Amino acid sequence: MSTYLLIDDDVILNILHQEVIRKVDPSGEITVYNSSVRGLDYLKLILEKNEALPNYIFLDIRMPEMNGFEVLDELMKHPQSQFEKTRIFMLTSSLDDRDKTKAESYPIITGFRGKTVTTTMLKEIIDAET
C-alpha cells in the first residue's frame, strides 16, 4: 500500500487530487493538510520519530503561511537519507522557469509539475517506481 501526503492551501484541489489518487490507487492511504505549517509539523514529527515518510508528497509552491520552498528548507535540515524512499513533487499553477530551476536545486525533490494532478500524471509517477 502506498501512502500520499498532499500539502496545498487549495481545498478544492485537495479534494480533486484525493479522487485522482483513489481512482489510480484505491488502496492508497491519503493524508491532507490545507496548511503548509501544519503539513511541515506533521513531517517533522515523522522525521523526529524516525518513522517512514509517505511514499509520495505533493507540495504546493504558493501558500500563504509558508511557501513550498520554505517547507523544503526546513526539511533539508534533516539527513537526506530519511527521504530516500519518498518521492516529493512540487506543484504549481505558475510554470515559472525560475521556480522549476529552484525546485530542481533541492536534492530531495523528485519532480516539478503543473497543477492539477491527473490520472495520467499519477500513473506515470507510480509506473516510474517499477
Q: Which three cell numbers stand for residue 80?
A: 537526506
Name the nearest CA neighbour of 16 among 58, 63, 64: 58
Average pLDDT rounded to a whole number, residues 122-130: 87
Quick check: 109 and 57 in contact, CB under 8 A? no
- The SS3 of residue 121 is helix
Domains of the chain and CATH, by start = 3-123 (3.40.50.2300)
Q: Please state the pTM of the whole predicted model.
A: 0.95
pLDDT at 93: 85
Q: Which three cell numbers stand for residue 36?
A: 503548509
- pLDDT per residue as tens digits for the range 95-112: 678 998 999 999 999 999
Percent of the chain with pLDDT over 90: 88
Name the nearest CA neighbour of 57 among 124, 6, 121, 125: 6
Rounded to 10 deg, the angle between the 11-24 and 119-127 helix axes is: 60
- pLDDT per residue as tens digits for the range 48-64: 999 999 999 999 999 99
DSSP 8-state code for residue 108: T
